[in-house]
Amino acid sequence: MPPTLGQNQYGKAETRVLRVTREGAVHRLRDLNVSVALSGDLAEVHLAGSNAAVLPTDTMKNTVYAFAREHGIASPEAFGALLARHFVASGPAIRRARVRVEEYAWERVPTTGEKAHSFVRAGNGTRTAQVTCDGGECETLSGLTGVTLLNTTDSEFRGYLKDRFTTLPETGDRVLATDVTAVWRHAAEPADWDGSHAVARGHLLAAFAGTYSRSLQQTLFAMGSAVIDNLPGIDEIRLSLPNKHHFLVDLEPFGMRNEGPDGAVYIAADRPYGLIEATVLREGAEARIPVDLTNT
Ligand SMILES: O=c1[nH]c(=O)c2[nH]c(=O)[nH]c2[nH]1
């Protein structure tokens, strides 16, 4: 029996687009990285070498730039939806279009006078969005990645299972640090995507800061719950939290005690790291965010 074709998709990955909007001397910008993936009835392309159903990926790239000029970029979600709706209708063979967007944030450099055209790249993570259109049905996911958080106290880890390979000492006071990747699903589309994202982000940060942590797992659930509890339009959130370990340095060889009310010195470990991942759902909601979406 000859081999058969399995799941396939194609598209243009990582089209970088900067949209500048000018209102006199006051400029605004949106800086995106857009990845398109189309799938459908594309067997003949792979099996017979017919390109009749293939919209070139080069055209997809051009469409991203042309849409940015023509429609502007209101938000990553709105721009992703414009593109996904366009591409899903691009040819009879295409059944599904998925558009992933990363947004790089810029802050204004404060300047004197009327001019407002200088920006500094904000270093607090990347906003993400994904719009998938299956025929006429579109679903939007929002999210963020690379938001680094750290608590210098209010974190303990003890009472865990121990076997003959366990060496980890129990601790009632440790550093808790992570790089947040989160993806959330909207049951109802917000009127203001940027506002909704800022509120969700704020609740994630506040819950990390405000939770007395007995484990990163517990903190994760508190962060996800804060979003579900405070944003009625969000039904599901998935979080991927690496445990960025900070171990107390052994300073005893130098006759020094490395703890006390005046602080301590930690090794900021790189690898390996714990990886804590979970989905938090509104009661009765369906789990639809793919488990590995937060890892790609
Ligand atoms: O918050 C934690 N959760 C774990 O599952 C775990 N495992 C571990 O070694 N340290 C930690 N910390």
Ligand 1 geometric centre to CA of 274 (Å): 7
Tens of pLDDT, residues 159-175: 999 999 999 999 999 99
Asked whether residue 28 carries a pLDDT value surpassing 90, the answer given is: yes
pLDDT of residue 294: 79
pLDDT of residue 295: 66
- Using the 3D structure, point to which of 107, 135, 163 is the last residue of a domain: 135
Helix (H, G, I), strand (E, B) or coil at 236: strand
> What is d(CA 255, CA 160) in angstroms, rounded to the nearest whole number?
31
Which of 212, 216, 244, 246, when mutated, tests ligand 1's pocket best, judged by the most ligand atoms within 8 Å of its CB? 216
pLDDT of residue 153: 97
**Whether 279 and 254 share a structural domain:** yes
Of ligand 1's listed atoms, the one at least distance from the Cα of 176 is 1
Ligand 1 geometric centre to CA of 136 (Å): 44
**Whether 34 and 181 share a structural domain:** no
Is 225 within the bounds of a domain?
yes
pLDDT of residue 293: 83
Is 210 within the bounds of a domain?
yes
Tell which phi-psi region holds residue 66, choosing left (phi > 0), alpha (psi between -120 and 50) or beta: alpha
Asked whether residue 296 carries a pLDDT value surpassing 60, the answer given is: no
Tens of pLDDT, residues 259-276: 989 999 999 999 999 999
**Whether 131 and 170 share a structural domain:** no
- Using the 3D structure, point to which of 106, 135, 164 is the last residue of a domain: 135
Which residue range forms the structural domain that includes residue 39?
A: 7-135
Sign of the alpha-carbon torsion through 129, 33, 81, 5:
negative
**Whether 188 and 270 share a structural domain:** yes
Is 2 within the bounds of a domain?
no
- Using the 3D structure, point to which of 135, 152, 186 is the last residue of a domain: 135
Tens of pLDDT, residues 57-114: 999 999 999 999 999 999 999 999 999 999 999 999 999 999 999 999 999 999 988 8
**Whether 268 and 248 share a structural domain:** yes
**Whether 53 and 32 share a structural domain:** yes
Reported pTM = 0.96
**Whether 206 and 237 share a structural domain:** yes
Ligand 1 geometric centre to CA of 116 (Å): 47
Is 240 within the bounds of a domain?
yes
Tell me how many degrees the CA angle 196-197-200 measures, rounded to the nearest 5: 85
Of ligand 1's listed atoms, the one at least distance from the Cα of 218 is 1
> What is d(CA 296, CA 292) in angstroms, rounded to the nearest whole number?
7
Give the count of domains, the chain. 2
- 215-222 long-range Cβ contacts below 8 angstroms, 24+ apart: 215/157, 215/276, 216/176, 216/178, 216/241, 216/243, 216/274, 216/276, 217/276, 217/278, 219/155, 219/176, 220/276, 220/277, 220/278, 220/280, 221/278, 221/280
Residue 57 designated active-site: yes
Which of 217, 239, 243, 276, when mutated, tests ligand 1's pocket best, judged by the most ligand atoms within 8 Å of its CB? 243
> What is d(CA 53, CA 56) in angstroms, rounded to the nearest whole number?
9
Tell me how many degrees the CA angle 155-156-159 measures, rounded to the nearest 5: 155
**Whether 163 and 283 share a structural domain:** yes
- 197-205 long-range Cβ contacts below 8 angstroms, 24+ apart: 197/75, 197/127, 197/142, 197/144, 199/230, 199/231, 200/142, 200/227, 200/231, 200/234, 201/144, 201/147, 203/227, 203/230, 203/231, 204/144, 204/147, 204/180, 205/147, 205/149
Taking each helix axis from N to C end, the angle separating 193-210 and 216-230, rounded to the nearest 10 degrees, works out to 140
**Whether 36 and 64 share a structural domain:** yes
Q: Are 165 and 185 in contact (CB under 8 A)?
A: no
Residue 245 designated active-site: yes
**Whether 286 and 179 share a structural domain:** yes
CATH of the domain at 249: 3.10.270.10
Ligand 1 geometric centre to CA of 166 (Å): 12
Determine what percent of the chain is predicted with pLDDT higher than 70: 99
Is 1 within the bounds of a domain?
no
Other beta carbons within 10 angstroms of residue 200's beta carbon come to 24
**Whether 189 and 286 share a structural domain:** yes
Residue 145 designated active-site: no
Is 206 within the bounds of a domain?
yes
Ligand 1 within 6 A of 274 CB? Answer: yes
pLDDT of residue 113: 86
Is 40 within the bounds of a domain?
yes
Q: Could you report the predicted ipTM of this complex, rounded to two decimals? A: 0.99
Band (pLDDT 50/70/90 cuts) for residue 255 is very high
**Whether 161 and 282 share a structural domain:** yes
Altogether, the residues listed in the chain come to a count of 296
Is 67 within the bounds of a domain?
yes
Ligand 1 within 6 A of 87 CB? Answer: no
